[in-house]
Amino acid sequence: MQPVIKIRKRNENLKPVDPPEAPELTERESSREVARTVKGWVAEWQQRRKELVSHSLRVSLLVLLCFLVSPESSAQHLREAFRKVEQSVVVIRTNQKNLAPFPEKGMVSLNGLGSGVLISENKVLTAAHLVQSADKTIVEFSDGELIAAQVAGSTMSADIALLQLERAPTGAAAVLLGDSDRVAVGDQIFVVGAPYGLSRTLSVGHISGRHALNKRSERGSSVEFLQTDAAINTGNSGSPVFNLDGEVVGIISNILSRSGGSEGLAFASASNTVRRALLEQKPFWSGIEGVLVEGDLARALNLPQAAGLLVQRVAEGSIAWRWGIRPGKLRASVEGEELLLGGDIILALNEVSVERGGTYDEIYASVNQVRAGDNLIIKVFRRGQTLTLSVPLGP
């Protein structure tokens, strides 16, 4: 027992009150109480340990499944997507006449090689630079079938072209043109083409970036390129870029490379750019391969305006060929760039003057406003004189 402290106030005659005594625990009862408490702690700790072990096992199993199941599932998905589209991918073979390289003279025949994809019963998409000035274009399908084709439309700013086959292929099915606006940086894609002539070659990568070439104008349309790290080499021009659903989201245009081979910097015209330029409006193919001249070179050529399109080549059978547009005939090196001089310099088409920055799309749009049978007005600079040609637009 602890001693009781008695408190008495001054001038007050009060009796001290003892506090009630607390019941004392015996030593045995105290030990039992401690034991029960410890057992409770142990039981609670063991239950929590079981829960933690169970959770850890579940997490470990999920991680293991991610490593073991996910890659196999992704690979199977890719195999199925490739098998779905491989018959639609084609090889594009072109032929064109060109000036012989210096010091040789005369004309030589040059062969081109690229890729493309069937998007309807008799239409193929490819890169414009591959077929723009080609005299002859042949489409080769996976079963070896060869079908001649004519360029139905092209746009050089987006580097895309639409081919019209002479007849439908017997064993190939068309693929769908997807919505490139739904593609995001980081999405996995795959490319099928003919690098170095090896047809139906698959390369896998991701969307690395998106690049708008110009903003939408009143008469022209915006051009967007998708950047990818998929392996792209010579012969892949015009190859389709597929999403994992087997839809075309881009057409390969070019690569940035110091070595000449794939360095993980490739660019494809977005499928929505293709749709707006070639499918939602009347396609047009001039057959002209040209170079924009301006500044000192334009003054040296005595142009009557600040810029013009120097014609390098004209494809046989094209509308420019029917117009009588003359290609270059003299090789020259200007500031390290090889040009063909002596040909026509286009100054304007349908009163749209050739200037730097997006004018090609405006010219293209103006041509689409001309009905079949109406005249196209083209202004050219030829041998120091300005000529105006009026030519009916064919059906």
Tell me how far apart the alpha carbons of residues 270 and 178 are, in angstroms, rounded to a whole number.
Answer: 10
Tell me how far apart the alpha carbons of residues 40 and 37 are, in angstroms, rounded to a whole number.
Answer: 5
What stretches of 1-140 show up as alpha helix (H) in DSSP? 27-68, 70-85, 128-131
Choosing from 88, 115, 129, 366, the catalytic residue is 129
Is the distance from CB of 263 to CB of 222 less than 8 angstroms?
no
CA distances (Å), origin 379, targets 298, 302, 375? 16, 15, 13
Choosing from 88, 135, 154, 159, the catalytic residue is 159
Q: Tokens for 48?
A: 């929590």
Tell me how far apart the alpha carbons of residues 239 and 228 are, in angstroms, rounded to a whole number.
Answer: 13
Choosing from 237, 262, 271, 318, the catalytic residue is 237
DSSP string, 280-296: SS------EEEEEEEHH
Task: Give the CA count within 13 Å in the CB-facing half-sphere of 131.
Answer: 34
Backbone φ and ψ for 252, nearest 5 degrees, come out as -60, 130
- Catalytic annotation present for 159: yes
At how many degrees (to 10) do helices 70-85 and 27-68 cross?
A: 20
Tell me how far apart the alpha carbons of residues 346 and 366 are, in angstroms, rounded to a whole number.
Answer: 15
Q: Which of 228, 244, 247 is nearest to 236 (CA)?
A: 228
What stretches of 69-101 show up as alpha helix (H) in DSSP? 70-85
Q: Find residue 109's DSSP bridge partners.
A: 97
State the residue for tokens 């390969």. 252
In the chain the beta strands, taken as DSSP E runs, fall at 89-99, 107-118, 123-126, 136-140, 146-155, 160-165, 188-193, 201-214, 223-228, 240-242, 248-255, 266-270, 288-294, 307-314, 330-334, 337-341, 345-349, 352-353, 375-382, 385-392
Which residues form the catalytic set? Answer: 129, 159, 237
